[in-house]
Structure 1
């Protein structure tokens, strides 16, 4: 297996470990009877930058699994989906979160972090949610549509190597927008937008995006939607699908906002013990109410959405839970 020094492959990303509670509590019955002899004593879930949905969702998930299984676990700040694939493949972290676009690249040996390396130690666990591609600007900018983004606009696309940074610049170029590209964590970019250092932020993150919600509290914001023609043009050119941001997502929105989206899946190292991954999958799929308490985007973290992964082979432990519960995964899609 090829080793990837993916912590140095990107501009330095803070690797802050958000520690999960490792208190005991009553273990679920099947977890108590599982063969735990080869289980790790601790684990890490790769997320993304602070201020984004990945960070909130992933850190909360790690705490839930740690509590239920009596382990130590937490979420680690990373560069997002592309780096998470590399970190899981190399064994530097146990779990991660990714989107289907970067996953396709990684499975084909086309990851920008490791060109030519097929990341075959990455296995799918469970469906998370769709990542909408959405755009925000200050109301004072006068920008209300994609076509109104001025030439040379300073646009923040999130952390380098993230799904947003990988796909959103290409989508906007396809739609005829000329811009200066900026990178950073979502909280930082939100502050730069508010301070007038950026003109637009182009987000690819689960909704509601914490940084946008915070901006709404502090200033007037425009959530910029795609036209029908722009939406179709993006769908034709990229691995995205039609999406509508519900008006209830942000106080700024009066109506649903047209957008495009990409599915997210949790991933695991293929060499992790089968029972360990089975239990982590079971806890997630059987406790959607607790997942929604972590982040409301987890409303779609349900077994029925397992069909949206056609790219990453499933971990045998995850596949076992789905197959036992009537959500058939084809043998060819199991590692």
Structure 2
């Protein structure tokens, strides 16, 4: 009898344990265990793209690109963000020190960084690599009517915002003032403000002129033309362009169309240099390949976000750029798409 009693108790315990195990199972009721292990989440890849002043073109376009990359490559772990900065020279230095993975800069400055010329004479960056060309950076020299400035040489004795310290705008403005105006820095008062700050200073009567070297339209230039302050944009003659190009061959001739800004009724002939997206040679090849591919495969989704992006096309990706090597990840994508790459730009 005792044996039967013990057996009965054992069976009850086994039934209870079986029921408990069934209730605690992670499989839904009525379904067989899948036997599959969930795929591990992809490792995060943080991508910082350094840009420029918030009132220029670099920052808003950098934000557009970062948003696109995070959205389209998020399932691969890519988390991209744009960071405002002092501009081209600072961006290239941040790429050199691995403080950022991508940076927008005036294309010619990337070449000077690689060769150790101009602003990089003591700070050579041989590992700089191109990802793609972007849009032309147009020099937009805006002056107040009250200043009486009608030409580059007239800037003498006046205040002018030459761009943030270490920016491509500063480099370009000083070149223009020197070559076309015959001016040295002691002949004018140079300010180093962001574009938006310069626009406000002009409206407050604290600044006579500013140069916004950026893709058009530029928000800070729109702001000053829409204000109550009477302003105009200086135009370059063919002779001035020829003189500038003779000493700085990286410049091209461009037009700011009349009507682009409030009160700008006629076309303004100006000069500009193509900008580009740079990285470090040490950047992961697969990452750069995916970033480049996504930028162009989804170009139609972002082109309406900023007018400067209309110039950024796959056909022009390696056109009009200095002989800086492309990153292997970018090369792989361009070769897949049949883009002819100049021999001097091969890594």
Same fold flag (TM > 0.5): yes
Against the structure 1 CA distance between its residues 290 and 86, is the aligned structure 2 distance closer, same or farther, given a 3 Å change threshold? same
Residue 78 of structure 1: how far off its partner (Å): 1.1
Q: Give the superposition deviation at 1:185.
A: 0.8
CA 1:287–1:107 in 2, change beyond 3 Å: closer, same or farther? same
Deviation at 1:121, TM superposition (A): 2.6
**Post-superposition shift, 1:331?**
5.3
Superposed displacement of residue 59, structure 1: 1.5
2:278 paired residue number: 267
Aligned to 2:206: 197
Instruction: Pick closer, same or farther for the CA change 1:271–1:139 going to 2, 3 Å.
Output: same
Q: 2:235 aligns with which of 218, 221, 225?
A: 225
Alpha-carbon offset, residue 177 of structure 1: 5.3
C-alpha displacement of 1:167:
2.1
- Paired with 1:66 and 1:111, the residues of 2 have a C-alpha distance of 36
Distance 2:94 2:86 in 1: 10
Give the secondary structure class of the aligned counterpart of 1:128.
Answer: strand
Displacement of 1:182 in angstroms is 1.1
CA deviation map 1:128-179 (0-9, x unaligned) = 10001121012343434435x2521101011011111012112112122542
Please give the secondary structure, in 2, of the residue aligned with 1:255.
coil
Q: Deviations over 1:16-71 (max 9, x none)?
A: xxxxxxxxxxxxxxxxxxxx999752111000111111111112111111111103
Aligned residue pairs total 298
Identify which of 78, 84, 91 aligns with 1:84.
Answer: 91
Distance of 1:39 and 1:236 partners within structure 2: 50
Residue 263 of structure 1: how far off its partner (Å): 0.7
Give the distance between the partners of 1:236 and 1:258, measured in 2 at CA: 18
How big is each residue's C-alpha offset from its partner over 1:233-282, in whole Å with a ceiling of 9 and x where there is no partner?
11111121111112242223222211111011111222222121111111
Aligned pairs for 1:1-335 (under 5 A) are 41-70=45-74, 71-110=78-117, 112=119, 115-147=121-153, 149-176=154-181, 178=183, 179-219=188-228, 220-238=230-248, 239-305=250-316, 306-330=318-342, 332-335=344-347
Deviations 1:99-128 (A, max 9, x none): 12211210112363x543431232111121
* Contact persistence 2:226–2:262 (CA under 8 A): no
C-alpha distance in 2 between matches for 1:330 and 1:234: 26
Answer yes or no: is the 8 Å Cα contact 1:89–1:119 preserved in 2: yes
CA distance in 1, matches of 2:297, 2:54: 27
Show structure 1 runs of 5+ residues with no match.
1-35
Q: C-alpha distance in 1, partners of 2:46/2:191? A: 35
| TM-score of the aligned structures, taking structure 2 as reference length | 0.80
Partner of 1:247: helix, strand, or coil? Answer: coil
Aligned residue for 2:319, secondary structure, equals: helix
C-alpha separation in 1, matches of 2:97 and 2:48: 13
CA distance in 2, matches of 1:181, 1:213: 22
Instruction: Calculate the TM-score normalised by the size of structure 1.
Output: 0.83
Counterpart CA distance in 2 for 1:155 and 1:259 is 18
Look up the match of 1:29.
none
Note if contact 1:101-1:163 (Cα within 8 Å) is conserved in structure 2: no
Change (3 A) 1:39 1:105: farther
Q: CA RMSD in A?
A: 2.1
**What secondary structure is seen at the aligned counterpart in 2 of 1:249?**
coil
Structure 2 distance, partners of 1:150, 1:102, is 25
